[in-house]
């Protein structure tokens, strides 16, 4: 019996990552690569938004304490 066998279905299912940075891309189809690009572009936008919010919060705090 292999380690990854789960005859009783009690082990938690591990969801594969959408994309592993630096991973092998040779086995992917064009469509899969396009899907990963879209996934990563969405993540970049999410990160930019979080960064903008943190910068705005920091600037507000700096302006408040300069008084």
pTM of this structure: 0.65
Segments making up each domain of the chain, as ranges: 28-67
Q: Which residue has the higher pLDDT, 11 or 56?
A: 56
Using pLDDT thresholds of 50, 70 and 90, give the confidence band for residue 19: confident
Measured CA to CA, the distance from residue 63 to residue 67 in angstroms comes to 7
Rounded to whole angstroms, what are the CA distances from 57 to 23, 46, 49? 36, 17, 12
Q: What percent of the chain has pLDDT over 70?
A: 87
Give residue 25's pLDDT.
92
């Amino acid at each position: 019996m292999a380690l990854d066998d789960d005859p009783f279905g009690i082990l938690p299912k591990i969801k594969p990552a959408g994309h592993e940075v630096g991973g092998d891309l040779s086995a992917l189809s064009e469509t899969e690569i396009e899907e990963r690009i879209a996934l990563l572009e969405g993540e970049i936008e999410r990160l930019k938004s979080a960064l903008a919010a943190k910068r705005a919060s920091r600037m507000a705090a700096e302006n408040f304490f300069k008084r």
